Amino acid sequence: MNKISMSDKILNINNENIELENDSKVIVNGKSKITVFNKYPNNLSLEVKDDSEVLIEDFRIIEEENTSIKLIMGKNSKLIYNHSFINKKEYNLNILTEYQSDNSIIKINVHGINNNGNTNIRIDGILGKNVGNELYESIRLINENNGKATIIPNILVDCKEVVANHAATIGKINENELNYLMSKGIEFKSARKLILNGFIINIFESTDLIIKIKEILNWR
């Protein structure tokens, strides 16, 4: 995997796997993968060209951060954005989608833990007048130790021939799962760690990324 560190530049990738570290404008051709591991590209513009596909896997431990992500889709393109985080203070995440043509798919999956932190997530899904486009949003947040969260989904549709789905939950650690693990002889602290670790990593596909995340999560 290539590590890319740049600011205020345009990065063209074609059938590549890269690790992104700083603010960038990325143009994707072909089938590519982008990983963010505990880095802070606060402004990311991603343009997926016609007939192209990209998987983004983004993990962060946050003290205080404002992040804006713009997703621009060409024709017959596909983007999956898997993002998990642990927020210890303040996290403001804004995602904007823009479909420039027809028959494209965006899937946004977010898992976050507010460990004393305050998280605000806003997604502006603009599908416009193009046809055959699909937008799926799934956001799940767990509040720990007085953590707080707000989710604002805005979906703008000017055409009936599209699909737009949004699901969001904000809650506490699952008590049923916790009690089940403890009934099997696992002590409270270890059971809690298993549940929170699983919640953070289970949206990712990359085994290498999951291993790296596990190495730094010793529950925090």
DSSP per position, 15-47: S-EEEE-S-EEEEEESEEEEEEES----EEEEE
Flag whether 162 is in a domain. Answer: yes
pLDDT at residue number 41:
77
The structural domain count of the chain equals 1
Per-residue confidence (pLDDT) for residue 99, from 0 to 100: 94
**pTM (2 decimals)?**
0.90
Q: What is the pLDDT along the chain (220 residues), one digit of tens a residue?
A: 544 443 345 677 666 677 777 777 889 988 999 998 888 778 889 999 999 999 999 999 998 899 999 999 999 999 999 999 999 999 999 999 999 999 999 999 999 999 999 999 999 988 888 899 999 999 999 999 999 999 998 888 888 889 989 999 999 999 999 999 999 999 999 999 999 999 999 999 999 999 999 888 875 5
For residue 188, tell me if it sits in a domain: no
Residue 206 lies in a domain: no
In a domain, 216, yes or no: no
Asked if residue 132 belongs to a domain, the reply is yes
Closest CA to 102 of 78, 122, 77, 75: 75
Quick check: is 205 in a domain?
no
Please indicate, yes or no, if residue 181 is contained in any of the structural domains.
no
Its domain, for residue 143, covers 2-173
Q: Is residue 185 part of a domain?
A: no
Cβ(170)–Cβ(51) under 8 Å? no
What's the confidence (pLDDT) of residue 220? 52
